[in-house]
Structures are given as structure tokens and as C-alpha cells.
Structure 1
């Protein structure tokens, strides 16, 4: 029973569809009669094929529809409706040139048919031929003068074809039909502005404002135009009027800000901008654009503190805006509030994790304040978002190394190094960190191999050169190489205590105690007796020069700093040098 009801429903639907199609073609067929000039053809077969073709078109089978329509043309090549329908088929297939060919044929066969003309006008529009499109929309306005939609379409095509004066005439014609209208007045105002007819542009908006004196949009446009033609006093009068109408409107406050900013009255503008940042009327992206522009402009009239307050106001309304969160992070960084900066960078990345540069900034900043546990989590999040970017692996390796997870750190760094492409400096950094880890693991040979690789890639990494040369001296391996490297560093930085200390210690390990004493004494002077390691080294060389009292004095100074070797206490107790 249920199946029977469904079958009957389908039959009824099909009957209704064919009845609709039959009526449709009966109406359109009237336009084809004149074109056919009483030509005799198989009307029943033609109608049957036409109904089948249109059924296929409605069902979405455009290729079957195309084939059936063309069979119709074989029977009656002068059918306007078939050419019109074929135009629609090819338009749906995005073959606009073919659609245009059939559209032109339909109009040639039935030049007064409104549907055919409209189809042809729209096709010319889609093909960018605005001149021809305007020509056919003009015919439609002449044929059906009461249809305002054709007048609007004609205006649009005239504007696309840069026929501004003709467009104004059509808009005036529309205005006669529908009366003074906001969109019409604004469109005419824009055209007059383009044509540099300032008086007409002003009068057009004034005419509408007279009709609707509380219309903020039009008053604002007129105020903006006065600003653009250098009539700030006239603009301010209108802006003051807007404030009287609605002082809480963010768009009004925005217009005032723009006015004051242009007049270089920055303090007054700032007060308005504070209101704009919390406004619900002003678009979020527009507020952000203004904020970022004044924040990153090197000639900005506003201080870091003022920009920070604007940013915080903005975030009250748009707490998930990643760009402004990043801005606040950068502002904290400028104020050397690294902890706070990292918080906002992290918040920015929560909403937009795609910016690898921000991840690098976050990881570098957290490493700089030794937040190694936090770096581990941040680096893992960065790797999840950017699995093929090398820097998060470098940061993770450094953090794990400082947390004592040496083997895991080595694995991470070796993996991350594989993602480095055409970046010798970054590859050198990986080799340096891997070398450090092997050194901590007492794998001296592998450590020094990686240090040499790192130097080959970046021979001007002076921290690397200093540390490697010191490690060579500690291990008493290739001391000539160690001296070569540290002298290059000192040549660049002659007054850095730690570098001079390294050179002095290399000389000490070479047994050149007199030379070592001179260099280590300079290191003591440059460090202002603040480095326990340097003080201990100086005590060591004094002992080798048989100045035991001097050695004991400097060892005790080193002890007070808390920065010394494990053997220092033994040296003091035994009053002798212990390797």
C-alpha cells in the first residue's frame, strides 16, 4: 500500500513537471512563430524532445539535455526557446563563449523577448564586455521602463565602462521613480568625487542629510570628504553634530580620531581612540589595523605605555586576536618583562599556531631566562604545529640538556639537524650543541668532531671558538689548535675577561707560566675580582711560579665567590696546586 502511494505520488509529480514544461514552452513558443515563417515540421516530435531535454536539464544531466536540444534544432533550427535553453546549458557548464553564441541566436530569432535579452546582457557582463552588456540593458529599460532592476544593472555596466556622466543620468532617472535614497545619493556622491565635481558631491549628500538629518553614515561621509578637500573646520562641525546625535557610537569616535590625527592633535585623538578600541560598532580588523599601524610606525606620536593601554582595551572586546596578543608580548619585551612577554606570545600562538617566527621568538625568549621546563613543553607544541621546522628541535635539545636529559637531547638534536636546509649558521648551532652534549657525556672524540664541523660552517662563532679552545686546554689535546682559536677571539674582543682567561689557561697548560701569569692577571683586572674561576686560575699560575702566599690569597678569594673547581678546598688545605 505504501509503495503504491509512493508510485502514485511520483506519477503526480511527473505529471505536474510535464504540465509546467508544456505551459512554459507554449508561452515561449508564441515568440518563435513569427521566426518560423509557417515552416512545416514535426511538431509532436519537436515538443516531445523539447520536454525531455528540459526534464534532463532540470534533473542536472546537462550533457543529455544538450544532445536532446540539438535534436530539436535539427527539426526546427529557428526555435528561439531551444537556442535560449542551450545558452543556459553551456552557461552552467561554464562555457560562456558557446553560451553567448546561442544567446545571440535566440535574440536574433526573437528580438523582443525580455528573457532572451536579459540572458544576453548578463552573459556579456560575465564575459567582461560591459559596453555590449550596457547596450542590451538599455534595450530592456526601454522595453520595460517600470523595472527598476534593469536601470540599476545598466548603471553598473556604465560605471564598469567608465561612462560616469551617463550613469549619473540613469541614477537620476531611478531617483525620480523611487525618491531620494541613501544608496543612490552615496553612489552619485562617489561618481561626482571621481569626476572632481566637489560642489555636486557635497550637494548630493546635503540633499539626503536634509531628508534624514540623523543619518550618521551620510554625515560621516560628508565630513570625510571635507577632510579630503582640506576643509577641516567644516568637517569638525559635522563631527560635533554626529556626537550630539550619538556620542556612544564607535564609528563617530573613529571619525573624530581620524580628524584629530590628521590635524596632529594627537592627545585629543588618543582619547577618542580609547573609545574606539572597546566599541562594538567598529569592525575588529579595522581596529586592529589602526592599532598595529600606530604601534609599529617608527614615527608614531604615542608612547609604549599609551599603545599598551590601547591594546589592553582592544583585548577586552577581542581577547583571542592573535596579532594584538603578539603586539602586547612585544611591548612587554621592549620593557624587558620577558616572563610577561612569553605569556602573551604563548597566548597568541594558542589562536594562531601557524607563525613559526613567533614560535622562534617565544622559545628564544624563554631560553634566555632559563625556563627550561617551560621550553620543553613549548618546543613540543611548536614541533606538533611545525614538524619539519628545525629550530624547535634545537630549543628542545638545549632545554633537555640543561635539565640533565643528555641522551634524549642528543637524539632530538640529531633529528632536528636533518630538517636544516641551506642554513649554515643554524646547522653550525646544531653541531655546537651536539658537541657540548657529547662533552658532558665524556665522549671527547665525538664532541671535538662536532665542534670542528660547527667551526667549518660558522668560523666566526666566537663563543664556540672560546669554549672549544678551553675544552682543548682542559683535556690537554692539540694545544696549538686551542691557541690558534682563542687568539682569533681575542683579536676581535681584546678586553673580555673570560676570553683572556682561556688564553692564559692554554699558556698554563703549555707550561708557559710567565706568559700565562701576564694574561691571567689581565683577566683578573677585567673581571674586577668577580670570577671565581679566573681567581682560581691566577692562584694556580702563581703557585707554579713559586709564589705560594699569592696563590693561597687568590684561592681564598675564589672560595668566597662560590664559583670554583672541586679541587679548590684541597688546594687551600694542602697549600699546593692539585690537578
Structure 2
């Protein structure tokens, strides 16, 4: 409570100091009227801070009736109206405040926000032009100025603003990205390319910028250019897996899935390359093999998964991946064993348990089915299907291998 009181007192004191220059007479004294106006202003802001905007607005309106030149009151009332989505009223009062005190940057920024709400982007841009002139070292003002120019349909002027900022701060990632996007949007691909080239030349050790350039080349279907940049990335950082995979994937549409997977061998054999990155690269093809029943693709994927077994031993996700691919190639008993290994290494992934249950049924391994479903009941007490499978396995495990669980039986 003490902190809250101090905070309110400090805030109101700040308002008081803000308005003191308005109320002082030429001889440096304050009239009784000015003191009462100040008290009214403080009272209004007290209500605003307490969330009673209606009462605060009423007092600020009363204050403005007494003194139309009270820009602080106009500004505070405009803020209240903006919060109430009374945009037209907020706009009029914000313009009034900024007109009375044109040197106040906060009034101009607030007015620009109201202009934006009303889709008056050109007017907002003019305000930020004034703000840049008044504070040329504030980078954010340049970005806002350029943004409003773009929204107003003036991209050429926006580029001029970016050029002006670049002249002050030099080549900068955010600046280069925005210039690149504007050139690209206007169809000037040569200047768009030049922006990224300049960024890469300014920071030659930063491979993120080279990736931007390579991505642009791929977007423009400049495959030789993209390859050259990816090779440069690998020369700069031999452990950049993203560049390795991108370089391998460029030729895959023409060469075919099998050739692409074979091109991944050096990457999969490299223990320094992240395991998750390796798996991520082949998952789309695993899904494709499952959807199309492509046995050749599945076996090529299984070959890569076997490499992962050697390079990244005792990894649950590798065991599960091998289980998936063995299942796709029809080797169900081996797949079941790999799922068992995966669960022993990490028993937290329920989808692996589900695969194990299904394979146990398909291979008529009911003893294993009962054993693992009972274990799963402790780990996944909220999975009703586990209890149902356990009950079915105990009751029906002596049925013929061709039988299936009740949910798979024809009605």
C-alpha cells in the first residue's frame, strides 16, 4: 500500500511539473485560477490512473472549457478517447495538443498513432519526418517514417529514408533486409540482390547473411548462384548442417529420391552433425514411403537409418525410426524388437507404445502385448485405449493369429 501511494504521488508530481510552465505568470507567481486548474488536472489524472475514465474525461473537458490552450489536458483526453475507440475525437484533440506544443515529440508520436488508426499514413509520415529532423540520431524514427511512407504508397521515398539512415549508421542487417524487401516488392531484383551482396561483403564471417543470399537465389531459380553460396558457407563453417542439406536437396527433384538419399551419406556419417537435423531431413520421405507403399524408397531410408544406428548408438528416436522403416519393408518381428529397444531407452513417447501394441497383435505376440500394456497403464493412466487393449489381450490372447482387436473387427 505504501509503494502504491508513493507511486501515485510521484506520478501526479510529474504531471504537476509538466504543467508548471503553462501556469506561471510573467512575474513568476501563480494565480489562484491557475492553481485551481492545476488541481483539477491532477484530480483528472488521478481518476485516469484508477481506471475511472469517464470521471477523468469529465474533469479534462471542464479544464479545456476554461483554457483551450491547455495542451496537456487535450493530450490526456485524447488518450482516453483513443482507449475508448473514439478515434475521431481522439484525432481532433491529439492535433490540438500537437498544434499548441509542436516541440513535444510525444504529442507527435501519439498523433501519428491516431493517424495510423484512421489509415492516414501520409500524414503520419510527415510527423515522423519532423521527428527525424528534430532528433536525427533516433534510428527508430527513421524506420517508422519509412514504414508510413510504404503504407502511403511511396516506396521510393521510403528507400530514400533508408539510404539516409544507412549514411548515418552504415550497413546494418535490419536496414538491408528492409531495403531488399522493398526492391523485391517493386520488381527490381538486381538491386534486391545487391543489398544482400553488400550485407555479405560487410560481414563475411556471418553465414546467416549468406543463407539469406542463397535463399534469394533459390527463390529466383538461380541454382548455380545458390550452389556457389552454399559451398562458400561450408568453406566458412564446415559444421553448417543447413548448408549441407540445402546443397544436397537442390538436385533431388531431377535426380530422384534415391539419389538424394545417397547424397546424404557423408552428412549422416558425420558424428558432428546434429541427429535431430538428420532425422528432420528424411522425415518427409518416410511419410511419402508410408503413403505410397514404396518399398524401394523405404529400403533406401532404412539404409540411412542403419547408418544412424552406428553413428548415434543407443538413441530412442533412432530405434523408433528403424522400427517404422522395418515395418514398411514388411519385417514386422524386427520392427517389434526395435520398438522394444526404443521404449527401454525412453518410455515417455506414447505413439511408440501404440506401434508396439499394434505389431504385437499383428505378430500374435500376445505375451509381450500383455506385458507392455500393463507397463503402459502405470505410465499413461489417462490413456483409456491402454486399459482396453490390456483387457482384450488377457481375455482373447489364445485366439488365432488372424483375429484382431474388437475395434478392428468388421461389424
Q: Is 1:245 aligned to 2:236, yes or no?
A: yes
Matches within 5 A, 1:120-269: 120-123=111-114, 125=116, 127=117, 131-133=119-121, 135-145=123-133, 146=136, 147-159=138-150, 163-261=154-252, 264=255, 266=260, 269=263
Matches within 5 A, 1:314-329: 327-329=321-323
**2: CA distance between counterparts of 1:259 and 1:316?**
30
Kept after mapping to 1: 8 A contact 2:172/2:199: yes
- Counterpart of 2:392 in structure 1 is 398
**Residues 16 and 189 of structure 1: is their aligned pair in 2 closer, same or farther, counting only changes over 3 Å?**
closer
Aligned-partner SS, 1:385: coil
- Whichever of the two has the greater Rg, that structure is 1
**1: CA distance between counterparts of 2:168 and 2:327?**
62
Q: Is 1:385 aligned to 2:385, yes or no?
A: no
Quote how far apart the aligned CAs of 1:118 are.
0.9
Match of 2:106 among 115, 134, 139: 115
- Counterpart of 2:324 in structure 1 is 330
The TM-score normalised by the length of structure 1 is: 0.54
Q: 5+ unaligned residues in a row in structure 1: which ranges?
A: 1-5, 34-39, 405-425, 433-456, 459-579
CA displacement, residues 107-143 of structure 1 (integer Å, 9 cap, x when unaligned): 2343324212212323555x4x5x4245314322224
Quote how far apart the aligned CAs of 1:270 are.
0.9
- Counterpart of 1:70 in structure 2 is 58
Quote how far apart the aligned CAs of 1:200 are.
1.4
**2: CA distance between counterparts of 1:296 and 1:349?**
23
Q: RCO (CA 8 Å, sep 6+): is it higher in 1 or 2?
A: 2
Kept after mapping to 1: 8 A contact 2:323/2:336: no
Quote how far apart the aligned CAs of 1:149 are.
0.9
Q: 5+ unaligned residues in a row in structure 2: which ranges?
A: 26-30, 399-403
Aligned-partner SS, 2:120: helix
CA displacement, residues 360-419 of structure 1 (integer Å, 9 cap, x when unaligned): 5443223332114324325625862334xxx43431222222579xxxxxxxxxxxxxxx
**Residues 62 and 245 of structure 1: is their aligned pair in 2 closer, same or farther, counting only changes over 3 Å?**
same
- Counterpart of 1:436 in structure 2 is none
**2: CA distance between counterparts of 1:181 and 1:50?**
45
Quote how far apart the aligned CAs of 1:247 are.
1.2
- Counterpart of 1:81 in structure 2 is 72
Kept after mapping to 1: 8 A contact 2:115/2:121: yes
**2: CA distance between counterparts of 1:41 and 1:272?**
86
CA displacement, residues 299-338 of structure 1 (integer Å, 9 cap, x when unaligned): 8967132442476599789x687xx876444224233224
Count how many residue pairs are aligned between Structure 1 and Structure 2: 376
CA displacement, residues 61-112 of structure 1 (integer Å, 9 cap, x when unaligned): 212x541342131132434323422444566x6x4x2366325412234332
**2: CA distance between counterparts of 1:263 and 1:373?**
48
**2: CA distance between counterparts of 1:250 and 1:339?**
32
Kept after mapping to 1: 8 A contact 2:373/2:387: no
**2: CA distance between counterparts of 1:288 and 1:162?**
45
Kept after mapping to 2: 8 A contact 1:308/1:328: yes
- Counterpart of 1:376 in structure 2 is 373
Kept after mapping to 1: 8 A contact 2:112/2:127: no
The TM-score normalised by the length of structure 2 is: 0.73
**1: CA distance between counterparts of 2:304 and 2:342?**
17
- Counterpart of 1:304 in structure 2 is 301
